[in-house]
Amino acid sequence: MGKSQLIHNNEFHLINKEEIRKATGKLVESLNLAAGSTGGFDIYKVVDAYFTDLDKRQEINALLGIGE
């Protein structure tokens, strides 16, 4: 997806997985995290699942109390 084109929540599946991975890496760096996966938590898997798997996104939203 080009930088000038906005992605809406019903289009998350259009985002390239490599772009998701790079953006997550930037998040990890920006927050000065020691790693993206420590202590049984893998932020890369969470973000990847959220943006690529509609069922997982709905589960995560439900856990957070976010309605769609």
Range of the domain at 37: 9-64
pLDDT, tens only, 2-45: 455 778 877 887 888 999 999 999 998 898 887 777 777 888 89
- Is residue 13 one of the residues assigned to a domain? yes
The answer to whether residue 1 sits within a structural domain is no
Q: Rounded to an integer, what distance in angstroms lies between the CA atom of residue 62 and that of residue 64?
A: 5
Is 40 contained in some domain? yes
54 belongs to a structural domain: yes
CA distance 45 to 3: 23
Q: Total structural domains in the chain?
A: 1
Instruction: Give CA–CA dist 17/62, Å, rounded.
Output: 23
Asked if residue 4 is part of any domain, the answer here is no
Residue 3 lies in a domain: no
Per residue in 41-57, pLDDT (tens digit) is 888 899 999 999 989 99
pLDDT tier for residue 67 given thresholds of 50, 70 and 90: confident
Q: What pLDDT sits at residue 16?
A: 87
Residue 13 has a pLDDT of: 78
